């Protein structure tokens, strides 16, 4: 189980074959790597499942291989798997092919990727996240880790405002470490195992192109996102979920339309908790401890009802706009964004 979606296995993957299963999207949310927060956001799970399915079908139509099989039609006999357009209601379960995910042994913050790949063979989830950026906002970690010249930008230093990029930046980060970290290309290549990092970068750029073009057609600005991939007998396929308001950052008329809204709201209204999280992560790094959360002595507080309603309308109105269908009962996107601005 992940923090916001459950994982069902119908047929387990083996060294020689993919399995079958599904993601069940819940209405939980997570910020700052905390895991499940105290509240749920109604219809959030269905909105993410809908956007994810829509994007997987777009990618398949462009010849991009994925692990997607369809959405589960609840109420139908035996939970029939159908394309998104044939679903009678917004789905909350996505049928997928499964790959192997071996254990990743660790001692403190040292992880044994050789052991992972020995167990994985040629059928495994690549233990990386491939991040693509079309924009570098103020506060981005990229500004702390790199200089503009590292990315071919004709700037002496990062400016005080956001930087829109002519060409996307692609980075690699760890996926299964307790505190994820960005990697140089050589280490990313080693962690990827049999998968080629150049191929992973090309795939990320193609996913970024497809999602960006779809966002533009809906009047949205696609700022950044990530993909995860599986490797199966020499082929890389896009896995997990793609192009949702949790995996990617979008904006509408200059206002965030993504989970970033909830991150920033917590920064403004619960700064003590956010600071405690940052301090716990820093302490864990100093002490070479993987489980930073055990060092955090402050818990997040629940959200007010009106904040939950605003978040719900943001997810649902945004999904309607993105897929071009009124699947959810929600206000127009302009009204939903107006409420976000007033948070």
| pLDDT score of 109 | 85
Nearest to 280 by CA among 141, 181, 178: 178
| pLDDT, block means (10 residues), the chain with 343 residues | 80 96 96 94 97 98 98 79 93 97 93 96 97 92 92 92 94 90 96 97 98 97 97 97 96 94 96 96 89 94 97 98 96 97 94
DSSP element (H, E) containing 131: strand 128-136
Structural contact between residues 4 and 52, judged by C-beta atoms closer than 8 angstroms = no
| pLDDT score of 76 | 63
HSE-up of 108 (CA within 13 Å, CB side)? Answer: 8
Residues in the chain: 343
Secondary structure letter of residue 294 according to DSSP: G
Nearest to 51 by CA among 202, 220, 204: 220
Task: Give the three-state DSSP class for 108.
Answer: coil
Please name the residues in contact with 47: beta carbons below 8 A apart, sequence gap of 6 or more: 90, 244, 245, 315, 316, 318, 319, 328
Task: State the residue for tokens 């990229």.
Answer: 142
| pLDDT score of 1 | 42
Structure tokens at 199: 């191929």
Q: Taking the model in full, what pTM does it have? A: 0.93
Structural contact between residues 36 and 2, judged by C-beta atoms closer than 8 angstroms = no
Please name the residues in contact with 148: beta carbons below 8 A apart, sequence gap of 6 or more: 154, 155, 156, 157, 158, 163
Secondary structure letter of residue 3 according to DSSP: S
Please name the residues in contact with 187: beta carbons below 8 A apart, sequence gap of 6 or more: none
HSE-up of 124 (CA within 13 Å, CB side)? Answer: 21
| pLDDT score of 88 | 87
| pLDDT score of 290 | 81
Structure tokens at 105: 């042994």
């Amino acid at each position: 189980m992940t923090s916001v979606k459950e994982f069902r296995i119908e047929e387990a993957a083996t060294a020689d074959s993919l399995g079958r299963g599904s993601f069940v999207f819940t209405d939980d949310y997570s910020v700052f790597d905390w895991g499940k927060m105290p509240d749920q956001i109604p219809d959030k799970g269905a909105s993410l499942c809908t956007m994810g399915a829509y994007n997987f079908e777009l990618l398949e139509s462009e010849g991009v291989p994925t692990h997607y099989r369809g959405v589960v039609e609840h109420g139908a006999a035996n939970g029939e798997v159908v394309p998104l357009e044939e679903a009678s209601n917004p789905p909350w379960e996505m049928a997928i092919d499964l790959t192997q995910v071996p254990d990743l042994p660790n001692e403190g913050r040292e992880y044994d990727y050789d052991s992972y790949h020995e167990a994985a063979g040629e059928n495994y989830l690549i233990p990386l996240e491939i991040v693509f950026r079309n924009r570098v906002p103020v506060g981005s970690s990229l500004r702390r880790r790199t200089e503009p010249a590292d990315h071919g930008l004709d700037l002496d230093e990062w400016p005080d405002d956001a930087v829109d990029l002519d060409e996307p930046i692609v980075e690699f980060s760890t996926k299964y470490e307790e505190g994820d970290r960005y990697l140089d290309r050589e280490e990313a290549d080693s962690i990827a195992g049999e998968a080629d990092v150049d191929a992973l970068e090309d795939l990320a750029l193609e996913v970024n192109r497809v999602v960006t073009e779809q966002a533009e057609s809906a009047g949205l600005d696609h700022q950044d996102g990530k993909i995860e991939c599986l490797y199966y007998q020499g082929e890389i396929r896009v896995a997990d979920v793609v192009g949702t308001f949790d995996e990617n950052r979008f904006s509408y008329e200059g206002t965030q339309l993504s989970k970033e809204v909830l991150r920033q709201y917590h920064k403004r209204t619960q700064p003590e908790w956010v600071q405690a999280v940052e301090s716990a992560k820093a302490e864990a790094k100093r002490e070479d401890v993987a489980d930073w959360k055990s060092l955090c002595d402050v818990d997040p507080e629940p959200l007010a009802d009106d904040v939950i309603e605003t978040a719900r309308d943001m997810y649902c109105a945004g999904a309607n706009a993105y897929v071009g269908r009124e699947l959810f009962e929600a206000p127009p996107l302009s009204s939903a964004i107006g409420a976000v601005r007033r948070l």
